[in-house]
């Protein structure tokens, strides 16, 4: 049984974040950055946002799927929110953007297949939600083709 495309995309993005930014806590879900979390900093927050699907032909969809990633860390100097934020933003972008088609296990000996047709950072933000904290957020839009599996159980 193959892993659904969404699962493969998430797995690869997480692998790249950990490889590029270090083994820091990665928190999933929509509890909100300042919601239910244990305030371990630095940390990454990962949000899977709603998809938009357009039918290409019966059983085939063109999918656009945004994923929001936030990198929360302490400031070394309170007066350098944007300077430190830009450095964190650059590190976050470099960790994810290694190729054009999000190739599975990119640059590793067991490099796999391309997971998407294209992806790009469509929004970013640097802010200081609390004193001495910088929060760098990005939204990546992943575009890929997926199949409709809803009737698979009836085809046997």
Tell me the domains of the chain and their CATH numbers.
5-154 (3.30.2000.10)
**Residue 66 backbone dihedrals phi, psi, to 5 degrees:** -85, 140
CA 77 to chain CA centroid, nearest Å: 28
pLDDT digits (tens, 9 = 90+) for 40-84: 789 998 999 999 999 998 889 999 999 999 999 999 998 999 999
- Which residues face 124 on adjacent strands? 138
Q: Strands (DSSP E) along 38-149, which ranges?
A: 43-48, 52-57, 60-74, 118-127, 133-147
Q: What is the C-alpha separation between 142 and 107, in angstroms, rounded?
A: 20
Residue 1: pLDDT over 50: no
Residue 155 — very low, low, confident or very high, per pLDDT cuts 50/70/90? very low
Model-wide pTM > 0.85: yes
The CA angle 40-44-47, to the nearest 5 degrees, is: 125
pLDDT digits (tens, 9 = 90+) for 88-119: 999 999 999 999 999 999 888 999 999 999 99
């Amino acid at each position: 049984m193959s892993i659904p495309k969404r699962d493969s995309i998430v797995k690869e993005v997480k692998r790249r974040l950990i490889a590029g930014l270090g083994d820091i806590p990665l928190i999933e879900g929509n509890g909100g950055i300042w919601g239910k979390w244990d305030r371990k900093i630095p940390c990454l927050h990962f949000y899977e946002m709603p998809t938009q699907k357009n039918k290409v032909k019966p059983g085939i969809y063109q999918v656009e799927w945004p994923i929001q990633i936030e990198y929360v860390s302490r400031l070394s100097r309170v007066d350098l929110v944007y300077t430190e934020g830009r450095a964190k933003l650059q590190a976050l972008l470099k960790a994810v953007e290694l190729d054009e088609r999000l190739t599975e296990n990119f640059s590793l000996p067991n490099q796999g297949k391309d997971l998407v047709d294209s992806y790009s950072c469509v929004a970013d933000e640097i802010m200081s939600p609390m004193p001495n904290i910088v929060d760098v957020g990005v939204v990546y839009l992943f575009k890929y083709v997926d199949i409709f599996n809803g009737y698979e159980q009836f085809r046997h």
